[in-house]
């Protein structure tokens, strides 16, 4: 059974009893959050999660099966089993234990699974399974998540403050939660001003995001090549970099298109944009608007979506693919062999 990540909150705990839940995809941050959400649903039954890895199951499949059949795996402190780093290798074990779950729950964590993956097919079609794909969330989805968190914590923020938080979050739930925790420390003793939100949100991770955008959209071949050579210093995977770039480009295109029929200067376009652009981003956006025109940005955005789709289909040689993509799309060299790109 396929289930969207946004639908999980709508389901009661009984929905997950006696089920094997597959959480898979490149968004490990979302997988972690969904693990926690499912476990929290059982807090009143005092069930505690037990974490193991696929390799533990593969090494001792008889022991795992015997635990289930004898009921000893799910004693009062071990009622939810999370098996991490899973692949198709675990299918045989799942098929052997799936009819002996009773009211217990297994959560399977995996990264990207292709359509022909046996584990993915098990999650989508087996009657005992629930399958939740965990792809990178959109700005809209993160906005909804933030709104829920604000309501839960009884925090009221302006539209501008919400925009600042989302832009600083790298579209990660964990980052949103971290920011909410910091706001909670302020809200009883200090007014939550724009400056306070900016102080909370400005950290090394955000600065790295800004730096990534500035370098890759600079059209400076030397800087881009240096970035490619030192990419590990930014502690971002390829999909995260794609998301950072896409989020910024969509905003730039929105600024351009909202004012396309008006004879406005770049400064006027930025000032009139809603929601308001934070002051420290104005110069950065102005520079990008001078360097890139609408057509080139749209082509680059389209190519970002293509390379992300390629990564989801195949996780082989992603580093080579991504380096090639950057040099072909962002340097001053002419495009070569860009079969899938605009």
- How many CB atoms within 10 Å of residue 209? 23
For the chain, report the end-to-end CA distance as a whole number of angstroms: 36
Q: How far is CA 256 from CA 117, 192, 273, 290, in A?
A: 42, 31, 10, 11
| pLDDT in 10s for each residue of the chain, 342 residues | 999 888 888 888 889 888 999 999 988 889 999 998 898 888 777 666 778 889 888 888 877 766 665 555 555 545 688 999 999 999 999 998 888 887 888 999 999 899 999 999 999 999 999 999 999 888 999 999 999 999 999 999 999 999 989 988 888 898 899 899 888 877 766 678 888 888 788 765 666 788 888 888 888 888 888 887 777 666 677 777 888 888 889 888 888 876 655 677 888 888 887 777 777 778 888 888 888 888 889 999 998 888 888 776 766 667 777 888 887 887 643 333 334 444
The residue with tokens 């022991």 is: 63
Domain boundaries along the sequence of the chain: 5-133, 139-202, 205-330
CB-count exposure of residue 299 (10 Å: 0-12, 13-18, 19+): middle
317: helix, coil or strand?
Answer: coil
CA–CA separation, 131 vs 108, rounded Å? 9
The whole-number pLDDT of residue 342 equals: 43
Q: What is the DSSP string of 322-336?
A: HHHHHHHHHSSSPP-
Q: What is the pTM of this model?
A: 0.58
Give the architecture (CATH level 2) of 205-330.
Answer: Up-down Bundle (1.20)
The whole-number pLDDT of residue 316 equals: 60
* Short-list 78, 20, 26, CA closest to 51: 78
CATH number for the domain whose boundaries are 5-133: 3.40.50
Check if 5-133 and 205-330 are the same fold. Answer: no
306 contacts: CB under 8 Å, gap ≥ 6: 340, 341, 342
């Amino acid at each position: 059974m396929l289930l969207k990540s946004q639908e999980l909150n709508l389901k009661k705990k009984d929905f997950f009893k006696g089920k094997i839940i597959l959480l898979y995809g490149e968004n490990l941050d979302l997988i972690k959050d969904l693990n926690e959400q499912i476990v929290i649903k059982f807090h009143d039954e005092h069930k505690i999660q037990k974490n193991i890895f696929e390799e533990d199951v593969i090494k001792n499949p008889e022991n795992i099966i015997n635990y289930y059949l004898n009921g000893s795996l799910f004693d009062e402190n071990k009622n939810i089993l999370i098996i991490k780093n899973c692949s198709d290798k675990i299918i045989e074990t799942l098929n052997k234990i799936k009819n002996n779950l009773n009211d217990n729950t297994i959560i399977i964590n995996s990264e990207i699974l292709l359509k022909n993956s046996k584990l993915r097919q098990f999650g989508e079609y087996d009657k005992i399974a629930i399958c939740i794909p965990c792809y990178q969330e959109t700005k809209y989805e993160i906005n909804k998540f933030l709104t829920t968190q604000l309501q839960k914590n009884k925090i009221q923020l302006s539209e501008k403050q919400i925009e600042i938080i989302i832009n600083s979050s790298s579209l990660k739930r964990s980052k949103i939660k971290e920011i909410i925790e910091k706001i909670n420390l302020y809200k009883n003793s200090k007014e939550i001003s724009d400056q306070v939100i900016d102080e909370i949100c400005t950290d090394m991770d955000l600065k790295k995001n800004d730096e990534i955008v500035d370098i890759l959209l600079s059209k400076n071949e030397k800087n881009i090549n240096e970035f490619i050579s030192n990419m590990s210093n930014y502690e971002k995977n390829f999909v995260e970099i794609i998301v950072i770039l896409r989020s910024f480009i969509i905003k730039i295109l929105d600024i351009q298109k909202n004012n396309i029929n008006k004879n406005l200067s770049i400064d006027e376009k930025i000032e009139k944009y809603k929601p308001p652009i934070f002051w420290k981003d104005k110069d950065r956006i102005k520079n990008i608007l001078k360097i890139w025109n609408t057509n080139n940005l749209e082509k680059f955005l389209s190519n970002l979506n293509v390379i992300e789709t390629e990564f989801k289909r195949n996780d082989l040689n992603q580093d080579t693919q991504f380096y090639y993509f950057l040099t072909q799309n962002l340097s001053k060299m002419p495009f070569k062999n860009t079969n899938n790109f605009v």
